[in-house]
Amino acid sequence: MYHPEFLAYLERATPRVALFYGEYVFYIDHYGQKILDRYPQAQVQRFYFNDYDFKAILEALSQNSLFGEGVVVYLKLDQKLGAKECCSLLEVVASHPRNALVIGFYPGKNKAQYAQQGKQFGAQLRHPKLQEQIVEVRFFTPDKSELLALLQEKAHVLGLQIETQALHLLLELHHNDVGIIYPELEKWSLCGHLVRAQEIQQEVYGMGAVGVDALLDALFEKKQQCLRLLARLQAEGVDGVDLVRALSRYFYQLFLFASYFKMHGAIQPKQILGFNPPQTVVLQLSKRAGQVQNMRAIFELLRSWHVACMRGDTQAGWHFLIKVQDYID
C-alpha cells in the first residue's frame, strides 16, 4: 500500500507485521517509531543491519516478555530476507499473538534494484492467520504541503512558535529533508520566542561580522570589494565549506527564479520558493537571476571550490571567487 492508504489503516488498526521502504527514508524511520509507540508496554528488541541474527530474532519472537505485554522486534535492513526466513518469522508471530515485527528496509549498494526488491520482500510477507495484520508500505517523496504539515506537527509537540515562512525556508535550505530539520526545530524551541524567517536566514547566511550577504552584494554590485570581503571573512574564521554551501544555496535560488521566468514569462515567488518573501527580496532575486550569464559554470566552480575546501585548501576561495565574478554581468 501507499502512504494515504496506510494512514487510513492506522485509524482503525495497528499492524503486527510491518514492512516500510521507499525513496523517502525519513518516513521509514518515522513510521517505524510510530508503530513501536503503539506497543508502549512491550519489550522492544532491535537488530540493525549487520547485527541481524536470524536465530536470535526467531528466539525473541518465540518468547513472551517478562511482564506478559509482548515482544516487538524492530529490524533495519538494507538486504531483503529470503522467503524461508520470512515464512519462519511470520509463523512464530502468528503463534504468539502479543508479539510483533517491524521492518525498515533501506536502500543498499544496489539502488537500481531497490524498489523491485522492496516489492519482492513485501510479497513474501503473507500468512493466512495474519492477513489484515500485515502491512507493506512504500513511501515516495511527499509534496511540500505534506512536509510542511510534518514540521508544524513537530513544532506543536515542541511548543515552538515559528512562522510558516520560516518552515518553508528550512525546507528549501535542507532540500526537503525533514530528518535534518527536526533537530533544528528542537534547537529553535529553546529560544522562547516566535521564530521568524528573517532569523532563520540570518542564522544560515550570517557568517561573522561581515556575513555572506555583504559578499553577495559585492559580487553583484561592487565587484572590486569581493576579495577584501573574502579576506575579512577568512580572518574572522569563517569555514570555507560553510561559505561555499551558503553561496550554492543562494545561486540555486537564482537558478529557480531564472528557470521559472524562462518557462512562464513572469515571477511567482510562492510557486518558486514555496512561500512569499518580502517584495524587496523578490525584486533583488529577480534582478540578480538576470545578471548570471552561465549558471552551470558557476555551479561547477562552486563544486570545485567545495572539493578544494574539503581537501584543506584554505586559499582556494581567491581563485574560484574571481572565476565566479566572470559569469556575473
CATH number for position 56: 3.40.50.300
> What is the tally of structural domains in the chain?
3
Same domain, 283 and 163: no
Closest of 292, 289, 295 to residue 272, by C-alpha: 289
Same domain, 23 and 131: yes
Same domain, 28 and 88: yes
The pairs formed by 155-160 with CB atoms below 8 angstroms and a separation of 24 or more are 155/185, 155/189, 158/185, 158/186, 158/189, 159/189, 160/185, 160/188, 160/189, 160/195
Same domain, 133 and 216: no
Same domain, 237 and 168: no
Same domain, 113 and 40: yes
Kindly report the CATH number assigned to the domain that includes residue 304. 1.20.272.10
Same domain, 170 and 214: no
Q: What's the pLDDT score for residue 208?
A: 47
The full 3-state SS of 56-77, as one line of letters, equals HHHHHHCCCCCCCCCEEEEEEE
Q: Give one word for 208, left, alpha or beta, with left for phi > 0 and alpha for psi -120 to 50.
A: left
Domain boundary among 111, 139, 167: 139
Same domain, 114 and 92: yes
Same domain, 18 and 121: yes
Range of the domain at 275: 210-325
Q: What's the pLDDT score for residue 215?
A: 86
Same domain, 314 and 220: yes
Per run of 10 residues, the mean pLDDT along the chain (length 329 residues) is 95 97 92 95 92 94 76 94 95 94 90 91 94 95 91 95 91 80 88 85 55 83 81 80 84 90 88 78 90 91 87 84 89
Yes or no: say if 159 and 189 are a contact pair by the CB < 8 Å rule. yes
Same domain, 199 and 156: yes
Domain boundary among 84, 114, 139: 139
Distances 80 to 21, 139, 248, 313 between C-alpha atoms, Å: 11, 17, 37, 42
Distance CA 229, CA 54 (A): 59
Distance CA 29, CA 37 (A): 12
CB atoms within 10 A of CB 37: 9
Same domain, 132 and 178: no
Q: Determine if the pTM surpasses 0.85.
A: no
